[in-house]
Amino acid sequence: MSENLNGASLMKHLMDNIKDNIYFMNREGRIILINKAGARWLGFSSPDEVIGKTDLDIFSNEHGRAAFEDEQRIMETGIPILGKEEKETWADGRVTWVSTSKMPLKDDDGKIVGAFGISRDITAHKESEISAAKYAEENRQFREALEDDLRMAAQLQKTFFPTSYPSFPSGAEQGKGLVCFYHHHHAGGMIGGDFCSVRKLSETEAGVFLCDVMGHGVRAALGTAIVRAMVEEISEKEKDPGKFLRHMNRVLMPIMRKEDLLLFTTACYMVLDVSTGLVRMANAGHPMPIHLDARGGCAEWFADDRSFAGPALAIREDAEYTTIERKIAPNDAVVMYTDGIYEVSGANEEEFGEERLLAAAQQHMELALPELFPAILNEARWFAEDGAFDDDVCLVGFRLRCLSEPED
């Protein structure tokens, strides 16, 4: 470095070339020195135009007063301000942001004769920060509104499930008639895609329907709302389970197979005749129900041959669904379920599986349905590595207490 560069030269070099705003002021807060960058920042063409001005002459009254008071406090106390983020409001309405450090200015005797400071433009950074905070707040409000909507949807979806069951004969007290119905729904989230229905079709017949709409969340829940409306309508027209599912498939195809919407649902539909113990069933890609044979003391699949089952609903327009029949005896029960109960994973990602489900049903088959269903769920929950179900689970079924006596 040249020896001709003294302190004054170095100071001038710094003031002329640094990009931050550097300024000095006297005890009255009037600027006595400012660099070129600072003058440009304040809207002046040269530093000389700024000399003698105060913050109150340059900024809006709000910011000018706050800055002036900060400087007076520094000069009174000798305590600097370091790295303060300041919002600068200008007379023309502009808003800028700077990071400012201000310190007391002292003479050779250590007496405070003013203040000096350095400010760096952080407007772009601050605007990004403010935008991010605004976005976060808007996102929080959106999430809260969405959660409120989902909670309302969850409450509404609960009304889809049975609140009472058909009685046979009519008027019989629940649990003391010819047949006992029961269902249990465990939601994997606020809303889901499982739905069941138990409807009286005649003085001796009841229809039991269970479905599992693909996916999770709102899409699946909307699917259950559509299916629920179809069940109410079609069950009045079709008592044969196979025809019931064919009719439902035809109705659902144009609704669920849009270009921007791809939904399908597995389903199982049973019709029980309490006068004979005859159960007719059709299946649309759904897990096989379990028959609890009281006399044999065993749990078995409702049908050993699963080839009769058709595809899930809304997959193929020309799908056919076969009705099969099986007679059950007094004290027998039939359990329908969705796949969430046996797809839970235990150690080494092994699934609980249908065979363990069948074994759990046999282990607890003597229990009444309100105790049987939680017992089966607990077997799967204990098997699961995290003790929880990832998917919705729904069980619905019935136990035949006795057959109705034939009318004379």
Nearest C-alpha neighbor of 23 from the set 35, 9, 14: 35
Whole-angstrom distance, CA of residue 88 vs CA of residue 67: 9
Q: Which residues contact 276 (CB under 8 A, 6 or more apart)?
A: 327, 403
What tokens appear for 306 in the block? Answer: 């699963």
Is 148 inside a domain boundary? yes
Neighbours of 359 (CB within 10 A): 13
Same domain, 193 and 334: yes
Q: Where are the beta strands (DSSP E) in 214-363?
A: 257-258, 261-262, 265-273, 278-284, 290-293, 298-301, 324-327, 333-337
Domain at 181, CATH number: 3.60.40.10
Which pLDDT belongs to residue 1?
Answer: 44
Residue 408 falls within a domain, yes or no? no
Residue in this structure with the two tokens 């004979």, named with its chain if needed: 276
Q: 52 in a domain, yes or no?
A: yes
Whole-number Cα distances in Å, 46 to 21, 23, 152: 13, 13, 64
Give the residue ranges of the chain where pLDDT is below 70: 1-14, 149-150, 152-159, 188-191, 217, 258-261, 405-408
CB 134 within 8 A of CB 127: no
For 103-112, what is each residue's pLDDT tens digit? Answer: 999 988 889 9
Are the C-beta atoms of 230 and 251 separated by less than 8 Å? Answer: yes
* Strand, coil or helix: 152: helix
Residue 12 lies in a domain: yes
How many structural domains is the chain composed of? 3
Residue 201, amino acid: L
At 149 the three-state DSSP class reads helix
Domain limit, last residue, from 159, 179, 206:
159
Per-residue pLDDT tens digits for 246-285: 999 999 988 877 666 678 999 999 999 999 999 999 999 9
Same domain, 141 and 235: no
Domain harbouring 108, CATH code = 3.30.450.20
Helix 353-363 and helix 369-383, axial crossing angle in degrees, nearest 10: 140
Q: Are residues 150 and 184 in the same domain?
A: no
State the pLDDT at residue 408: 44
Residues 106 and 201 reside in one and the same domain: no
- Same-domain check for residues 146 and 63: no
79 and 11 co-located in one domain: yes
Same domain, 135 and 91: no
In which residue are the tokens 């300041």 written?
86
- Phi and psi for 362 in degrees, rounded to 5? -70, -40
Residue 155 shares a structural domain with residue 171 = no
The whole-angstrom separation of Cα 92 and Cα 105 is: 31
Q: Where are the beta strands (DSSP E) in 122-240?
A: 179-186, 194-200, 205-213
Residues 210 and 346 in one domain: yes
**pLDDT at site 202:** 94
| Final residue in a domain of this structure, among 121, 150, 179 | 121
Write out the residue range of the structural domain in which residue 36 sits. Answer: 7-121
- Residues of the chain by 3-state class (helix, strand, coil), percent to 5: 35, 30, 35
Separation in Å, CA 241 to CA 4, 255, 325, 396: 104, 21, 10, 17
Q: Same structural domain for residues 345 and 221? A: yes
Task: Give, in order, the Cα–Cα distances in Å from 275 to each of 28, 205, 291, 375.
Answer: 104, 8, 18, 30
Do 93 and 218 belong to one domain?
Answer: no
Are residue 241 and residue 345 in the same domain, yes or no? yes
Q: Is the dihedral of CA 334, 339, 344, 348 positive or negative?
A: positive
pLDDT at res. 144: 78
